[in-house]
Amino acid sequence: MNKERSRGISVSPLLFEALIMRFSWTDIRLQTAGCSDMHREIAGGVYFVGVDDHRTQLFENLWALPHGVSYNSYLIVDDKIALVDAVKESWADEWLENIREIVDPSRIDYIILNHMELDHTGALPHIARIARNATLIYTPRASPMQKAFFDVSLKEKTVKDLDEISLGNKTLKFVHAQFLHWPETMMTYVVEDQVLFSCDAFGSYGALNGKIFDDESDMQKIEKESKRYLSSIITSYLMFVRRGVEKVRKLGIAIKIVAPSHGPVYRNDPMWIISRYYEWSSPQFEKHVAIVYGTMYGYTHSLAVTLKDELVAKGIEVRMHDVSQSEMSNIVTDTIRASVIALGTPTYDAYPFPRMQAFVNEMEGKRFPRRPLALFGTFGWGGGGIEKLQKQLANMGFEILEPVTRVHARPSQQQKHDLVRLTDAIARKISQD
Ligand SMILES: Cc1cc2nc3c(=O)[nH]c(=O)nc-3n(C[C@H](O)[C@H](O)[C@H](O)COP(=O)(O)O)c2cc1C
Ligand SMILES: [Fe+2]
Ligand SMILES: [Fe+2]
């Protein structure tokens, strides 16, 4: 009998461990289902339902993502249920799962689209097929864009600047933020919780890997990645960043949490990211020189190095990029706030080195604020590269410092020495600032 009983309950140590493990996992799951840790509740009834993208190599197919990127979306559960922003289409299933863990998505009443760019709207048709009774909420300028991009068959409500809607206990206030960074962009503010859904403004590159809050994040990395994000995505509209910040400040609304659509949610120090964005979009240049150059076999490189050495000897900070080696977002980040930009190019088939041309086109497209420029380069026979860049940059309204340094192939010691005059001209400009 004893033997029988003992056989009945005998469990091998391994199996016992497995049962314990199973029990504890189930237990943990039961305990955490619906709690903030699992669903990332950022305020009472306000949930993070975003996703990480570790697959896309280039954001907008242009800017490197060495640490991935997140597409943040939020769900507000009140008498009415509101979804704030969607995600890129490839992540629709994972996103819908995140929503389903909190509510049945068919119950969503409002889908708020702060911005129509497809990293925040690509998955819209997927939710539109489920949340059949939802109303799209966006600015009047977003309406024709939504129809041109998707034309989902949902009701829509366009909101004027500072319009409000009530979800029951919570009130949503819509703050237009035109050209931050598209014409239709807005932010959404939860009045009672003091949460600002700022969309691309105050965003950062980098996947979250489960650490959605600033107090869980490596803030040195966030500082670098948010500066690079702002510099590559929003540079054309820097003054709109300042206008946006000033507008929110004038509204006098308290902000307890900044919840952007990329990067961490700032609950510990929301002013940190607002101040950084304000500082990085300042019209005041920083006292450094950016040297950006192209080279095939090294002659233009040797001019760039001489220029760098001369500037450093004068105590001037230099940030230097070889356009074939540095990634474009890093080049833009280091040049956009430089007091003087020095550009070097060899001639390539009578034109500037193609990647230098691409960078100067980027300066034009990103509406780089005007400032003094230095130009240098080398050529093998007829030249043409520097001349063409000079013409383009002068048309863009930049002041070109003298002397423009053109060298026939291998620079001599004397020619390198001539760069000292260019260094003096740069130094004078920096000290005038
Ligand atoms: C593919 C190629 C195309 C070039 N086209 C021109 C040209 O049209 N006109 C010219 O003056 N030199 C031309 N060159 C010569 C380079 O501009 C010259 O060698 C320059 O010093 C190279 O600078 P780097 O050593 O910094 O690459 C060309 C060189 C290469 C490799
Ligand atoms: Fe965007
Ligand atoms: Fe975005």
CATH assignment at residue 343: 3.40.50.360
Tally the domains of the chain.
2
Q: Which atom of ligand 1 is nearest to the CA of 351?
A: 8
Buried b (16+ CB within 10 A) or exposed e, 387-397: bbbbebbeeee
Asked if residue 363 and residue 383 are part of one domain, the reply reads yes
Which helix (DSSP H) or strand (DSSP E) does residue 253 occupy? none
Asked if residue 329 and residue 264 are part of one domain, the reply reads no
- Give the Å distance between the CA of 118 and the centre of ligand 2: 8
Q: Residue with the nearest Cα to atom 12 of ligand 1?
A: 380
The set of residues, in sequence order, having a beta carbon less than 8 Å from that of 30 and lying 6+ positions away, is none
Domain boundary among 237, 256, 280: 280
Which helix (DSSP H) or strand (DSSP E) does residue 431 occupy? helix 413-432
- Does residue 12 lie within any of the structural domains? no
Answer whether 376 contacts ligand 1 (Cβ < 6 A): no
User: What is the pTM (predicted TM-score) of this model?
Assistant: 0.88
- Give the Å distance between the CA of 85 and the centre of ligand 3: 10
- Give the Å distance between the CA of 181 and the centre of ligand 1: 39
CATH number of the domain within which 99 lies: 3.60.15.10
Asked if residue 302 and residue 192 are part of one domain, the reply reads no
Domain boundary among 262, 280, 298: 280
Q: Which atom of ligand 1 is nearest to the CA of 296?
A: 27
Answer whether 423 contacts ligand 1 (Cβ < 6 A): no
Asked if residue 268 and residue 291 are part of one domain, the reply reads no
- Does residue 19 lie within any of the structural domains? no
Q: How many CB atoms lie within 10 A of CB 287?
A: 14
Domain that holds residue 273: 36-280
Asked if residue 364 and residue 262 are part of one domain, the reply reads no
Domain boundary among 280, 313, 335: 280
- Give the Å distance between the CA of 381 and the centre of ligand 2: 45
Asked if residue 260 and residue 313 are part of one domain, the reply reads no
Asked if residue 411 and residue 270 are part of one domain, the reply reads no
Answer whether 408 contacts ligand 1 (Cβ < 6 A): no
Torsion sign across C-alpha atoms 356, 203, 242, 182: positive
Asked if residue 84 and residue 219 are part of one domain, the reply reads yes
- Measuring CA to CA, which residue among 119, 125, 22 is closest to residue 73? 119
DSSP per-residue string spanning 150-194: T--SSEEEE--TT-EEE-SS-EEEEEE-TTSSSTT-EEEEETTTT
82 and 108 Cβ atoms separated by less than 8 Å: yes
Asked if residue 322 and residue 258 are part of one domain, the reply reads no
Q: Which atom of ligand 1 is nearest to the CA of 382?
A: 11
Q: Which atom of ligand 1 is nearest to the CA of 349?
A: 8
Answer whether 379 contacts ligand 1 (Cβ < 6 A): yes
- Give the Å distance between the CA of 303 and the centre of ligand 1: 15
- Measuring CA to CA, which residue among 184, 180, 177 is closest to residue 203? 180
Asked if residue 306 and residue 269 are part of one domain, the reply reads no
For the chain, which residues score pLDDT lower than 70? 1-39, 433
User: So what's the pLDDT on residue 170?
Assistant: 98
Asked if residue 293 and residue 200 are part of one domain, the reply reads no
- Give the Å distance between the CA of 189 and the centre of ligand 1: 56
- Does residue 416 lie within any of the structural domains? yes
Q: Residue with the nearest Cα to atom 3 of ligand 1?
A: 348
- Does residue 408 lie within any of the structural domains? yes
Asked if residue 296 and residue 275 are part of one domain, the reply reads no
